[in-house]
Structure 1
Amino acid sequence: MKWFELGLVVLTFATGLIWLVDRLFFARRRAAEGGLLDEEPVIVDYSRAFFPVLAVVLVLRSFVAEPYKIPSSSMMPNLLIGDFILVNKFSYGLRLPVNNHKFLALGEPDRGDVVVFKPPHAPDQNWIKRVVGLPGDRIGFHGDTLYINGEAVQYEKLGEFVGTGRGAEMTGASLLLEKLPGREHQVLEWLDRANPAGQGEWTVPAGHYFVMGDNRDNSEDSRFWTQTHFLPEEHLRGRAFLIWLNCEGWFCKGSFDPSRIGTKIK
């Protein structure tokens, strides 16, 4: 993903520069010598054609919305393997492509937001999790219960989860409604499992967040990161807000679920 982004930036600036230099210098010379437009060099012709397209794609992808594909089951039942999602790139401020440097602050994550980010221990990758801890929060996870500032989060049991396709492995897990302060969403847990992993207490430092997957027993999230349990603000890529496609395999030959198209991510 980083190399694609870098390549897009380089191609945009290269084609724009070639087109600009030609228009400022060489096009006038050709015109003065009686040349025709179709006599311009091939590289200039291609640059003139592709630069506007590349520029629009770069602006939209960097500052408006960026597509991602869900590769794992860590956010089930809300996001499934094969979901293609859109990420709002300006919810938390505008950032430069490639280095992700924020140059305009517009907002901060709210508790319950589903965010795409670069994990501190794997900065060349893009991950997706849910924000459960804000700066200054004391987060605890004991048994199967999430605690925020000493208060246990309330859960409502919705029944037994039945998965399909590559999500079938979670069939039989408990489907719960987790009631975060001001935000409700579904999670999966094996409530009868003894000594679940990821137990502990953490205090979120300033400028950081505590993130967890909705599939609580199958998520490598803040509970398990060894170097730091917290997501630095500068590693955020944006807020996931919409599923625009769901399919697996090349040309969706594996499976295709049209019912998920246009689903809002809660």
Structure 2
Amino acid sequence: MTQMTEPDSQTQKSPLMRNLPLIIIGAVAIVGAFTLRDYISFEALRDNREALLAFRDANFVLTILGFIAVYVLIVGFSLPGATIATLTGGFLFGTALGTVANITAATLGATLIFLAARMGLGERLKSRMDASDGMVARLKKGLDENQWSMLFFIRLVPAVPFFVANLIPAFLGVPLYRFVISTFIGIIPGGLVYTSVGAGLGEVFARGESPDLGIIFEPHILFPILGLCLLSVLPVIVKTFTGKKELLK
């Protein structure tokens, strides 16, 4: 008498259960886009700056932990205000500590989206790509051979939306540790720029002005970041010119 094998846990899960985390993130993001716009804004930061500074001075450790928790929720649920949160980190904690808090929180939030996407569509897409042949198989092999370069590239390029950069690695089956390391390191340049802008908000508020968020596209800042982008894909370029062109065959 043959024994029926039990289906694995991935098969047992219905499509709804697999995609439930992504559905929740999407629902919260939609609701947040309409309800939180006035609460997470430059104007809200400007109007409440004295209260925030007073609370920070009285509860420094609690302020850091609370700030990181809120930032994780903003990124993890794709809520509006990630840029304002980064500015707030610089405003409250200065450039050095603010950058550490911002990068840590952004990485944790990005990891939540990555895990949710991988649990849903990511595993199925990876399985299909692993089982495929021809051009798809060569594409998958090329991406696997250059994962570090591609991960750092999409993080460093200012034009790649943060949310998209969280989803692509999940759909391509990137290991969690690679995603976390490349995210943490890759967002440091941009995070440092915006945190430093936030650290100078005191003077901006005093002049009654708004911060220049387009500063990251200034030549003296953009060109070094683009240089890092080129450096990140240098291994791919070297492989191409040394004859490893399997991806294009």
TM-score bracket, shorter-length normalisation: under 0.3
Please state which structure has a larger fraction of its residues in strand: 1
Please state which structure has a larger fraction of its residues in helix: 2
Structure 1 length-normalised TM: 0.23
- Bigger relative contact order (CA 8 A; separation at least 6): 2
